[in-house]
Amino acid sequence: MNATAREKVIEVRGLRNQFGTQVVHENLDLDVYRGEIVGVVGGSGSGKSVLLRSIIGLLRPAAGEVTLLGEDMMRISDARRSAIEARCGVLFQNGALFSSLSVADNVMVPMREHYRLPLPLMQRLAALKIALAGLPANAGAKFPAQLSGGMVKRAALARALALDPDILFLDEPTAGLDPIGAAAFDQLILTLRDSLGLTVFLITHDLDTLYTICDRVAVLAQKRVLVADTIARVEACDDPWVREYFQGPRGRAAWAAAARERQAIAADAAPTKS
Amino acid sequence: MTRAGTATIGHDASGDVIVASGDWTLAYAPALAGLVATLRGQARPGLRIDARGLGRVDTAGAGLLLDLAGVDAIDGLDPRRRALFDAVARAQAAPPVPAKPEGGLVALLARTGAAVEHIGDNVRRLVGFIGLILATLARTVPQPRRWRVTSLAFHLEQTGLDAVPIVVLMNFLVGAVIAFLGATVLKDFGAAIFTVDLIGYSFLREFGVLLTAILIAGRSGSAFTAQIGSMKSREEIDAIRTLGLDPVEVLVLPRLLALLIALPLLTFLAMAAGIVGGGAVCALNLDISPTMFVTRLQDLAATRHFWVGMSKAPLFAFLIAAIGCLEGFKVSGSAESVGEHTTSSVVQAIFVAILVDAFAAIFFMEINI
């Protein structure tokens, strides 16, 4: 894949966000290409969630352009916007499940709104998404208040996947999951991306996620995207914050773990090739 | 470019082959589901699927194709697509949850039983909670160090002072309405002057305190539930406990005491406003001058009725605060639960206030006060 031929599904140009006198983003540029998993990192308060909200149109930026799936989101009609939004799945930080609906009903909400499907088919699809998100089958009948934090994330992922979106936005997907669950979640995202051609935009603090599944990492600092490239090149960046982030004890541990895994995969693959 | 998904069944040397083509996506899912059901009826075991002609496939389409045959029986999947089918097949392997039986006479009986049990449980918990409040009160009162004066003053302002305009206005209007009603009926008997008795009697004994209690149940009882309930759902109550504090002492007592002080004061204002409202109608419409109105009122042995009405105010205040706080503590988890319990708190508080008022009326009548 060369960079010029790839289709840009998200294109942000000159984005500026501010609340009162506090400027969060200034002249921010970011491209996301079809089929890749982009991890966005940045310190607390660097505006990662604000960036996500301005891309999906929940927040109108003070200036700049956002192009989503080829549509200029600043000048789009409401009907077109709704069609684009149906092609985006969003997993919010705290799940944002509708508390008055069961998990299965939560997953069926977008299906009901955008398609005319018979109820048994919807129930079946909801059960499929719930299982895909790694929840046990009996979770569908439960209400969000009855779920643990990790299960809420998975239920919210099931809802985000309801319409098989083109782009999946994930806000700290693995926060609150146990390490086994988080690793399984990473693999699930990878599988879905590979099979559905999903594009994944994910905000994370989980270094393991960055090392194992992200194709590119965008570092948000100094009110803009400081660097957006493969993790090896981002690591080599000489910004002090970036160095601290990736070369700190946690960064090194995650790097080592990812390297071990790659070796193991290579070792597994070697005999079958020869 | 989208093309509706389709599939045809054919035969070759090894058995049935289903050739799937087009887009197997959610948009075509209803038609595809019907098609799959038909093909399942026709195909013999051991069939294979030829997926070489497939366009776009999403999880819905993959799930439907997998109804026909397992992943191993599908030919022509590239590695990426095989990964999707594997993932979907794994997800579908989970045993389906049996549907809940619902409806019918049994369900009706069960719901009725549950509702009755719920009422009994409510009463039991309320009585228990009142006991808890009294015990905490008895423990706290002798220790002035543990009085929460700031909190008390805050709630006194919220439940008392801020409620004055609405309480006064409402009672003034109801007083005027009662005066009109009384005048209409009594005029025919030439007994228009007894309108004064009607207003005095009803506001001092019943309406002043009851209207105020109903208003405060809706205004402050609901606020107590919502405040405590949202604290409960954000685990703040648990935090209070782990800090070695008693939630009843910290949250309930200031609210309860504030209402115990505020409701009698508001009742006094309510009685005055009702009588003024009635008096205004008498003066403007019935030719009963304010002087005559006051003289007539004094003949009524008004003090006795005033104390009958006033004696109920602290009782109502206690019940409204206890129900409001208890419902707040019953909140669990979601934001929806806060709303449910707030509604329940208002309904219960108003119901209990009217019930107690009815018993009090019988009681005072029996002892001839």
- pLDDT at residue A17 greater than cutoff 70: yes
- Which residue among B27, B97, B337 sits closest to A137, beta carbon to beta carbon? B97
Pairing type for strands A63-68 and A88-91 reads unpaired
- pLDDT at residue B170 greater than cutoff 50: yes
CB B217, CB B320: distance < 8 Å: yes
pLDDT score of A228: 83
Q: What are the tens digits of pLDDT across the range B283-328?
A: 888 888 888 888 888 887 778 889 999 999 999 999 999 999 999 9
Distance from CA of A245 to the nearest CA of B (A): 32
Q: Are residues B86 and B165 in the same domain?
A: no
pLDDT score of B329: 93
pLDDT averaged over every residue in chain A: 83
Of A117-126, A241-250, B175-184, B236-245, which gets the smallest average pLDDT? A241-250
- Which residue among A115, A127, A195 sits closest to B81, beta carbon to beta carbon? A195
- pLDDT at residue B172 greater than cutoff 90: yes
CATH number at residue B75: 3.30.750.24
The verdict on pTM exceeding 0.90 is: no
- Which residue among B85, B87, B336 sits closest to A132, beta carbon to beta carbon? B87
CA distances from A88 to A8, A199, B142, B317, B341 (A): 15, 10, 62, 53, 36
Partner-chain contact B29 A194, CB within 8 Å: no
Distance from CA of B28 to the nearest CA of A (A): 9
Partner-chain contact B94 A136, CB within 8 Å: yes
Partner-chain contact B334 A145, CB within 8 Å: yes
Domain encompassing residue B89: 6-93
The band of B235, judged by pLDDT with boundaries at 50, 70 and 90, is confident
Helix ranges (H only) for chain B are: 29-42, 59-68, 79-93, 104-140, 149-159, 164-187, 194-202, 208-216, 222-233, 236-242, 247, 253-285, 290-298, 302-330, 335-366
Which residues of chain A have a CB within 8 Å of the CB of B33? 118, 121
B219 in helix, strand or coil?
helix
pLDDT score of A274: 41
Query: How far is the C-alpha of B215 from the C-alpha of B234, rounded, in Å?
Result: 29
Two tokens, residue A181: 């669950």
CB A42, CB A221: distance < 8 Å: yes
Q: Are residues B289 and B151 in the same domain?
A: yes
Query: How far is the C-alpha of B52 from the C-alpha of B74, rounded, in Å?
Result: 9
Query: How far is the C-alpha of A148 from the C-alpha of A171, rounded, in Å?
Result: 18
Distance from CA of A249 to the nearest CA of B (A): 33
Query: How far is the C-alpha of B285 from the C-alpha of B276, rounded, in Å?
Result: 14
Q: Are residues B49 and B182 in the same domain?
A: no
Distance from CA of B23 to the nearest CA of A (A): 13
- pLDDT at residue B95 greater than cutoff 70: no
DSSP string, B300-369: T-HHHHHHHHHHHHHHHHHHHHHHHHHHHHH--SSHHHHHHHHHHHHHHHHHHHHHHHHHHHHHHHHTT-
Q: What are the tens digits of pLDDT across the range B17-29?
A: 888 888 888 888 8
CB A37, CB A49: distance < 8 Å: no
Q: Are residues B271 and B355 in the same domain?
A: yes
Position A101 in a domain: yes
Partner-chain contact A115 B27, CB within 8 Å: yes
Two tokens, residue B360: 């009090």
CA distances from A181 to A103, A153, A243, B292 (A): 19, 11, 28, 83
- Which residue among B30, B83, B100 sits closest to A195, beta carbon to beta carbon? B83
Q: Are residues B179 and B74 in the same domain?
A: no
- Which residue among B80, B83, B94 sits closest to A131, beta carbon to beta carbon? B94
Position B200 in a domain: yes
Position A100 in a domain: yes
Q: Report, as an integer, the average pLDDT of A31-59.
A: 87
Query: How far is the C-alpha of B318 from the C-alpha of B213, rounded, in Å?
Result: 11
pLDDT score of B146: 83
Position B88 in a domain: yes
Pairing type for strands A63-68 and A8-19 reads antiparallel
Number of domains in chain A: 1
B148 Cβ under 8 Å from any chain A Cβ: no
Contacts of B182 (CB under 8 A, 6+ apart): B194, B195, B198, B199
Number of domains in chain B: 2
Q: Are residues B154 and B220 in the same domain?
A: yes
Q: Report, as an integer, the average pLDDT of B116-129.
A: 93
- Which residue among B88, B333, B334 sits closest to A128, beta carbon to beta carbon? B88
Distance from CA of B138 to the nearest CA of A (A): 37
B58 Cβ under 8 Å from any chain A Cβ: yes
B336 Cβ under 8 Å from any chain A Cβ: yes
Distance from CA of B80 to the nearest CA of A (A): 5
pLDDT score of B299: 83
B83 Cβ under 8 Å from any chain A Cβ: yes
Domain encompassing residue A148: 91-164
Which residues of chain B have a CB within 8 Å of the CB of A147? none
- pLDDT at residue A1 greater than cutoff 50: no
Partner-chain contact B333 A145, CB within 8 Å: yes
Position A265 in a domain: no
Position B156 in a domain: yes
Q: By C-alpha distance, which of A224, A170, A241, A175 is closest to A199? A: A170
pLDDT score of A273: 45
